[in-house]
A = this chain, B = another copy of it.
Amino acid sequence: MSQVFLYDTTLRDGTQREDISLSVDDKLIIAKRLGDFGFHYIEGGWPGSNPKDAEFFARAAKLELGGAKLAAFGRTRQKNKSCEEDSNLEALLAAKTPVVTMVGKSSDYHVKLVLAASLEENLAMIRDSVAYMKQNGREVMFDAEHFFDGFLANKDYALASLRAATEAGADWLVLCETNGGKLPWEVEEIVREVRQHIPTPLGVHCHNDTGCGVANSLAAVRGGCTQVQGTINGYGERVGNANLTTIIPNLQLKMDRKVVKAEQLRELTSLAQYVAEVVNLKHYNHAPYIGRSAFAHKGGIHVAAMLKAADTYQHIDPQLVGNETRSVVSELSGRGNIQFHAKSLGIDLNNDDAQRVLGHIKHLEHEGFTFEAAEASVELMLHRLRSDYVQPFELIDYFVITEKRQSRGLLSEATVKVKVNGETKFVAAEGNGPVNALSTALRSALAGVYPVLTTVRLIDYKVRILDSANGTSAQIRVLITFQGGGHVWTTVGASANIIEASWRALSDSLEYALVKLN
C-alpha cells in the first residue's frame, strides 16, 4: 500500500466559487478541522493578493493542526523583477509557513499570450522563484498551470518548465489541469510519460469541467502522482475543484492506497457536513459517499434484497466513511456514541437515558435541527439529564416588533418575561434588529442573577431555509455562536418562524454559558 498525500485547497481555490466568502475566523476553524482529520497539507490562502489572507497566516501560526503542514500560495516572480523586489514573494515569506506553493506557466501559449514574456524568461522566473524559496528554508511546490494543455501543444516546453523547477530544488511538481477539460485516460497517459522524464515527486490538481474531476485525479495516481490536490465537497470556481471527499475513499477503499487512518476516514461525512455549515451552503444530499442520500434506498426490491444482505445494493459499508444506510432504522448505531460523548463531559449515562437522548435528537433532526455544527446543544441536552441539574431560567412570553415608517424610520423592540430563581422578570429592550432586541431583553432580565452573562457576546449568526419547496413558510434553521470566558460555542434552533428558531438557539446559548462559565 503506497502512500498518497492529501493537499487541501478549500481555503484558497475553494473560495473562488461564486457563493463562498469566508471570514478569517471561518478559515481558522476549517483549517483546524482539516488538520484533525488527517490532511497532510493545508493551503490557507494567497497572502499577496489580499490582507484577509495575510491576517489568516498571522493567526494560523498558533493553530494545532495535527500532522498537517500549512502552505501559502503565490505565483512565480514577475518578469523583469528580481525575487527580492517582488512584493508577492515577500508576502509569501511573511506568511512564515513551512510550505510555499507557487503557480507558474507550463504552456507556451499562455507564456506568450497572457504573460507576454519570452519562453526563456518564463523558465528563469520559475527557476529563480523556486531557488529563492529553497534558500529561505521552505518546502516548495511548483504548480504547473495548464500543464496538460501545454503538454499536448508543446511537450518539450512543458517538460522544460518542470525541469526548471526541479533543478532549482522544488520538492513537488504539481501538474494542474487548470481548465478542467481533460478525460481520465489522457491524464493517466501524460502523467506516465512525465514520470519517465522527471524524478521529482508529482502531485495533481484537477477541476471538474468534464464531470471527471475525481476520475482524472485517480487516473493521475495510477500514472504516478503521489499527491492529490482538491477541496472539501468539490468547492471551487466554475463547476468546482476535484472533490476530495470522493477521492479519499476511492483511493483508500477501492485502490488500496494508504491515505488516512481508518478511524479518520470514519470522520469523513462529519467533516464534509461541518465545512458545508461553516461556508453556509446546503450539504449536497446526493454527493458520493458522504451525502445524506448516498446510501438511501427507495426501490422496494432493493430494500427487500438488502434485508437478506446489505451488500446486494450497496458498494461499500457506509460506516467506513461515517455515513449510514437510510432505509434501515438503526437506533443502536448512535447510543454508544452518545454515552461516549457524555462520559467526556463527566456525565454517566445509562442505556435508557442514552436511548432517550438519541430519540430526542432524531425527533429534533426531523424538525430541521442539525447537531453537526452545534455540539453545545447536544451537551446541554446531556446536562439536562443530570439529576442535580436545575434549569436556570424559564421563558413565559416574548413579544417583538419591527417597524419602518416614513415618519420614524426603522426600529425593533422586544419584551421578554422569564422566571428566574422563582421570580418573574419582565423586561423591555430595543435593538438594531429583532434578534438583537430579544437578546438584549433576555440578558438584561437574567443579568441580576447571573452576572457572568454580561461577559459573553454573540459572534456569529447563520440562517438556512430547509425545505425550499415552500419558500418562506418552510422550516428555518438558525445557528448561533457565542464567545466568552475563553470558550466558543454554537447552538441550533429550528422553526417555521425565524424569530422562534433564533430564540431557541439564543436561549440555549445563554443557558450553555451558565453551565460552562458559572
Contacts and interface: CB of A to CB of B under 8 A. Distances in A.
Interface stretch (A259-267, A268-276, A345-353, A434-442): A434-442
A30 interface: no
Interface in A282-321: 282, 285-289, 291, 293-299, 302, 305, 308-309, 312-316
Interface residues of A, number: 110
Nearest to A208: B288
Given A113-B312, A293-B238, A465-B461, A476 B183 contact: no
A319 to B, nearest CB: 15
Nearest to A328: B18
Contacts of A373: 18-19
A379 to B, nearest CB: 16
Contact of A496 (B398, B432, B462): B432
A499 B412 contact: yes
A400 B403 contact: yes
Nearest to A374: B19
A402 B400 contact: yes
A280 interface: yes
Given A21-B370, A209-B315, A210-B214, A113 B308 contact: yes
Contact of A212 (B215, B432, B459, B471): B215
B23 A468 contact: yes
Interface in A311-336: 312-316, 328
A458 B398 CA distance: 28
Contacts of A180: 315
A410 B499 CA distance: 10
Contacts of A238: 286, 293-297
Interface stretch (A36-44, A129-137, A239-247): A239-247
Given A401-B401, A459-B468, A432 B18 contact: no
A201 interface: no
Nearest to A209: B315
Contacts of A392: none
Interface in A209-257: 209-212, 214-216, 218-219, 222, 234, 237-240, 243, 246-247, 250, 254-255
A499 B210 contact: no
Total copies of the chain? 2
A487 interface: no
A179 B250 contact: no
A421 interface: no
B401 A399 contact: yes
Contacts of A399: 401-405
A497 interface: yes
A299 B411 CA distance: 39
B465 A462 contact: yes
A239 B287 contact: yes
B462 A246 contact: no
A176 to B, nearest CB: 12
Interface string A347-373: 000000000000000000000001011
A222 B215 CA distance: 15
A486 to B, nearest CB: 17
Contacts of A412: 497, 499
Contacts of A214: 210-212, 215
Contacts of A222: 185
A108 to B, nearest CB: 13
A397 interface: yes
A461 B434 contact: no
A200 interface: no
A209 B19 contact: no
Contacts of A247: 211
A445 interface: no
11 contacts: A16-B298, A16-B299, A110-B305, A114-B308, A179-B315, A211-B214, A215-B216, A239-B287, A399-B401, A399-B402, A400-B402
> Which 4 A-B pairs have CB atoms at the shortest separation, nearest pair first?
A181-B315, A458-B471, A463-B463, A215-B215
